[in-house]
């Protein structure tokens, strides 16, 4: 009962409302002054700034205002409660006898308790600021550590070693060190969302710089179609081991990282990469930026090329068996002359229409629009039956050797 009466006395005390009124007038005057000096700034902007300084940037404005007002009411109530108790003790007559001493001691205990609680409430914003500052310092240290690790890994990407062959010394890439650096970058990408895209850019740049095969040169001068065909029939090779590892790291990034890339509008950048006669079968190149990439004679069988940007890519003689395209695959200005196509459903890939006459395929391909071999758009040099693996290779080479005089094999008779 006494506690309720004390609380009622505090809440109804005129000094409390005078204090709140003066505080409100102070802020109104301050706001009006700032409005004249700097122009109008909405109260919500000030509230958000205060919330950000307390590490509560993500808290909705209304909730933050409720929390702030609650804190202000509690702190003010405690302050005036302490003031009233102190005032009563000071101006109370000196206690005489046990009947008066115990209430006086209880009042002193209330003053001590209120002082402790009020101190904790007032210190709350300061504590939050201190914790926020500590967290920022920790994040700064962590980011500095991650930056150092990235720099060290990037240094490893350029590692070389000296080898002796036939009495001569030569410098070669140190693949062991480079592969270790690539795996280190993968771990950093998994640990730091903030640095993921930067690390992907580093790996893509490494692939562009190192993927080209020195022993593969394009036909010289203005090569004829026959020369292109002869060139494309030569052997293909897998990427060098370090490049292969970098490609695998890019392929196996998690769903959360891919979602981050989508939100940031990032594509793995392999534009203008020299990938001639490189075996890229079963690679996940979904959404990759392959603009103007040199993919002549490359093996892209079963490769995932959905949403890939192949604008202006050079794909002469490329192997596209069971490659995965979709309506968002960009093939504008790409060159697909002499490329082979099998087990590809082109129903929703109208961009391939303009390239089909210069490519080779069989009935495992469904033309754009869902058409089959009986349709008038079926290329005249394409067999109207499904060929076996070796037969397809033989017919493809026959067509490449003599495209004008090539006659596709007749479909087998029913029952054969």
In a domain, 368, yes or no: yes
Q: Which residue has the higher pLDDT, 8 or 405?
A: 405
Predicted confidence (pLDDT) at residue 34 exceeds the cutoff of 60: no
**Same domain flag for 86 and 190:** no
The pLDDT, as a whole number, for residue 306 is 93
Tell me the pairing of strands 168-173 and 160-165: antiparallel
Same-domain check for residues 86 and 181: no
Task: Please state, in angstroms and rounded to a whole number, the distance separating the CA atoms of residues 20 and 216.
Answer: 82
Residue pair 294/273 in contact by the 8 Å Cβ criterion:
yes
Tokens found for residue 412: 């087998």
On whether both 380 and 241 belong to a single domain, the answer is: yes
Cα 4 to Cα 8, 11, 236, 314, 329, distances in angstroms: 6, 11, 89, 85, 74
**Predicted confidence (pLDDT) at residue 388 exceeds the cutoff of 80:** yes
- Region of poorest pLDDT, from 86-95, 315-324, 339-348, 392-401: 86-95
Cα(244)–Cα(280) distance, integer angstroms? 9
Higher pLDDT among residues 157 and 4, named by residue: 157
Most confident of 12-21, 93-102, 110-119, 224-233: 110-119
What confidence tier does 242 reach under pLDDT thresholds 50, 70, 90?
A: very high
Any idea which of 36-45, 84-93, 295-304, 354-363 has the lowest mean pLDDT?
A: 36-45
pLDDT class of 125 with cuts at 50, 70, 90: confident
Per-residue pLDDT of 19-30, as tens digits, reads: 666 566 555 555
**379-383 average pLDDT score:** 94
Per-residue confidence (pLDDT) for residue 359, from 0 to 100:
93
- Give start and end residues of each alpha helix (H) in 192-273: 196-210, 225-232, 241-251, 255-264
pLDDT score, position 287: 93
Among 121-125, 174-178, 184-188, 300-304, the range scoring the smallest mean pLDDT is 121-125
Q: What percent of the chain has pLDDT over 90?
A: 41
Each residue's pLDDT tens digit, 253-283: 999 999 999 999 999 999 999 998 899 999 9
pTM beyond 0.85: the answer is no
- Per the DSSP assignment, residues forming a β-bridge with 164 are 169
Cα 407 from chain centroid?
Answer: 50
Longest dimension (CA), the chain: 128
Segment 150-175 shows an average pLDDT of: 87
- Domain identity same for 117 and 193: no
Residue 97 covered by a domain: no
Determine, yes or no, domain membership for 416. Answer: no
- Between CA 4 and CA 81 the distance in angstroms is 12
Q: What is the rounded average pLDDT of the residues 389-400?
A: 89
**H-state helical runs in 39-169:** 43-53, 61-91, 98-157
pLDDT of amino acid 215: 59
Q: Are residues 243 and 355 in the same domain?
A: yes
Looking at the fold, whether 184 and 116 belong to one and the same domain comes out as no
**Residues 142 and 244 reside in one and the same domain:** no
Q: Is residue 217 part of a domain?
A: no
pLDDT at 207 over 80: yes
Q: What pLDDT score does 295 carry? A: 92
What is the C-alpha to C-alpha distance for residues 324 and 282, in angstroms, rounded to an integer? 10
Q: What is the mean pLDDT of residues 181-205?
A: 93
Region 11-38: what's the mean pLDDT?
56
pLDDT at 86: 75
In a domain? residue 310 = yes
Assign 163 a pLDDT band (cuts: 50, 70, 90): confident
Q: What is the pLDDT of residue 15?
A: 58
| pLDDT band at residue 361 under the 50/70/90 scheme | very high
Distance, in Å, from the CA atom of 110 to the CA atom of 99, rounded to the nearest integer, reads: 18
pLDDT at residue 78, as a whole number? 73
- The answer to whether position 413 is within a domain reads no
Comparison of pLDDT for 229 and 192, the residue scoring more: 192
pLDDT at 185 over 80: yes
H/E element, 27: helix 14-38
CA distances from 15 to 21, 81, 92 (A): 10, 11, 20
Give domain status of residue 152, yes or no. no
CA-CA distance, 71 to 349, in Å (whole number)? 62
The residues, ordered by sequence, that sit 6+ positions from 56 with a Cβ below 8 Å of its Cβ are 64
The domain total for the chain is 2
**Cβ neighbour number for residue 257 with a 10 Å cutoff:** 17
Query: Do residues 125 and 187 both lie within one domain?
Result: no
Q: What is the pLDDT of residue 184?
A: 94
Instruction: Give the burial class of 329: count Cβ atoms within 10 A of its Cβ; 0-12 exposed, 13-18 middle, 19 or more buried.
Output: buried
Rounded Cα distance between 121 and 74, Å, is 8
Q: In a 3-state reduction of DSSP, which class is residue 241? A: helix
Per-residue pLDDT tens digits for 38-73: 555 566 676 677 667 666 666 677 776 777 777 777
pLDDT at residue 13 is higher than 80: no
- Band of pLDDT at residue 217, cut at 50, 70 and 90: low
Tell me the residue range of the domain where 308 lies.
158-162+170-212+229-401
pLDDT given for residue 98 in this prediction: 64
Q: How far is CA 176 from the centre of its chain?
A: 28
Same domain? For 27 and 76 the reply is: yes
Same domain, 112 and 193: no
- If one compares 285 and 234, the residue with the highest pLDDT of the two is 285
Does one domain contain both 135 and 197?
Answer: no
The verdict on residue 126 lying in a domain is yes
Instruction: Note whether 177 and 111 are same-domain residues.
Output: no
Q: Identify which has the larger pLDDT, 385 or 400.
A: 385
């Amino acid at each position: 009962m006494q506690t309720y009466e004390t609380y009622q006395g505090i809440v109804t005390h005129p000094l409390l409302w005078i204090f709140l009124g003066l505080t409100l007038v102070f802020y109104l005057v301050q706001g009006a002054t700032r409005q004249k000096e700097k122009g109008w700034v909405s109260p919500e902007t000030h509230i958000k700034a205060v919330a950000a300084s307390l590490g509560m940037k993500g808290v909705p404005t209304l909730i933050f205002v409720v929390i702030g007002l609650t804190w202000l009411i509690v702190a003010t109530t405690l302050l005036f409660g302490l003031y009233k108790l102190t005032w009563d003790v000071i101006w109370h007559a000196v206690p005489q006898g046990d009947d008066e001493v115990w209430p006086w001691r209880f009042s002193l205990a209330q003053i001590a308790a209120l002082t402790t609680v009020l101190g904790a409430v007032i210190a709350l914003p300061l504590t939050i600021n201190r914790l926020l500052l500590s967290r920022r310092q920790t994040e700064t240290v962590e980011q500095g550590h991650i930056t150092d690790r990235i720099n060290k890994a990037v240094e490893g990407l350029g590692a070389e070693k000296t080898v002796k062959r036939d009495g001569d010394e030569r410098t070669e890439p140190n693949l062991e060190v480079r592969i270790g650096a690539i795996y280190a970058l993968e771990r950093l990408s998994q640990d730091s969302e903030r640095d993921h895209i930067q690390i992907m850019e580093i790996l893509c740049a490494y692939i562009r710089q190192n993927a080209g095969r020195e022993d593969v040169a394009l036909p010289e001068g203005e090569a004829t179609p026959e020369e292109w065909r002869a060139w494309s029939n030569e052997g293909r090779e897998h990427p060098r081991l370090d490049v292969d590892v970098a490609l695998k790291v890019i392929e196996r990034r998690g769903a959360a990282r891919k979602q981050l890339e989508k939100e940031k509008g990032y594509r793995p950048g392999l534009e203008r990469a020299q990938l001639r006669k490189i075996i890229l079968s079963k690679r996940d190149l979904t959404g990759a930026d392959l603009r103007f990439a040199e993919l002549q004679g490359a093996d892209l069988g079963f490769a995932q090329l959905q949403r890939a940007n192949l604008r202006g890519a050079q794909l002469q003689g490329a192997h596209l068996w069971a490659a995965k395209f979709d309506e968002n695959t960009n093939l504008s200005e790409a060159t697909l002359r002499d490329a082979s196509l099998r087990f590809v459903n082109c129903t929703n890939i109208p961009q391939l229409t303009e390239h089909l006459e210069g490519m080779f395929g069989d009935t495992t391909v469904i033309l754009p629009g869902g058409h089959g071999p009986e349709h008038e758009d079926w290329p005249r040099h394409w067999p109207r039956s499904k060929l076996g693996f070796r037969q397809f290779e033989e017919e493809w080479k026959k067509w490449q050797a003599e495209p004008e005089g090539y006659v596709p094999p007749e479909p087998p008779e029913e029952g054969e």
